[in-house]
Amino acid sequence: MLKRWLKRVGVLIAVIAALIIGLLLFLHTGAGKSMVRNEVQAYLQQKWKTQVLIGNIDYRLPNWIALKQVVILDRKKDTLISGGSLYVGIRLLQLLSNSVYITGINLENINLTCRREARDSVFNFQFILDAFAPTGDKERTRAKGTPMRLAVTKLQLSKVRLNYRDERQQIYFSASITDLSCLPDSLFPDRNVYHFNEFALARISGPKLCIAKSAFPCN
């Protein structure tokens, strides 16, 4: 009797393992990646409440994910991020311990537009940072435990074009960053805490900075 039950348990475990392996194999096929791309795109649109378009997705679960031909609009339907590729090395199993552990982020051939209107207190990318902030009452959240921790071990920017327009402080500049690398120590977007161990800028070309009282001083 015992042997029969052990045999059934063994068969059940084998079937479950086969299903998991089959699912992982499917997710790494072209059809599987297309399905994941659609799901990720829909999830980000729902999470950020704005339009997100992903041309292509590649990954090696559970270690890294790469998005290509990405377009992200801000809440005012203006382009925030467009073009190129975004690579994220992430330990997905860390999510089970309330942590987002990212081994590396690489942005390549990306256009970034950071904007703050005169009447706004935050920039157009704030909704992305808010995604990591704890929800509900802050005191209640502290009582329940530590909020989700975001850990990034390396950030790399290659051929990134930045357009910065702060209408509130009347600061405007644009730059093309050939190579930027930094090693963050700790990041807590919900507390506005950002610590870096190392920050290296290899090349930056064409910077233009304006601080003026006119509404649009830079052309």
Q: What is the pLDDT of residues 24-50, one digit of tens each?
A: 888 889 899 999 899 989 988 988 899
pLDDT band at 123 (very low <50, low <70, confident <90, very high): very high
Does the pLDDT value for residue 219 go beyond 50?
Answer: no
> Mean pLDDT, to the nearest integer, of 50-77?
90
Using CA atoms, how far apart are residues 99 and 179, in angstroms rounded to an integer? 28
Does the pLDDT value for residue 77 go beyond 60?
Answer: yes
Angle at 93 between CA 185 and CA 59, to 5 degrees: 90
As a whole-number percent, the residues of the chain with pLDDT over 90 amount to 23
Position 113 scores a pLDDT of 93
Q: What is the pLDDT of residues 152-167, one digit of tens each?
A: 778 888 888 989 999 9
Position 81 scores a pLDDT of 92
3-state DSSP percent of the chain in helix, strand and coil, to 5: 30, 45, 25
Using CA atoms, how far apart are residues 51 and 61, in angstroms rounded to an integer? 26
Q: What is the largest CA-CA distance in the chain?
A: 87
Query: DSSP 3-state assignment of 169?
Result: coil
Cβ proximity of 148 and 64 under 8 Å: no
Position 215 scores a pLDDT of 41
Q: What is the pLDDT of residues 177-208, one digit of tens each?
A: 888 887 766 565 555 556 666 666 666 665 55
The model's pTM is: 0.70
Q: What is the pLDDT of residues 79-119, one digit of tens each?
A: 999 988 988 887 765 555 555 667 788 889 999 999 999 88
Query: DSSP 3-state assignment of 29?
Result: coil
- What is the DSSP secondary-structure string of 92-127? GGGGGGTEEEEEEEEEEEEEEEEEE-TT-SS-TTHH
In the predicted model, what is the mean pLDDT of the chain? 78
Cβ proximity of 142 and 92 under 8 Å: no
Between 200 and 136, residue with greater pLDDT: 200
25-28: Cβ within 8 A, 24+ apart: 27/61, 28/59, 28/60, 28/61
Does the pLDDT value for residue 174 go beyond 80?
Answer: yes
Domain ranges of the chain: 50-133+146-211
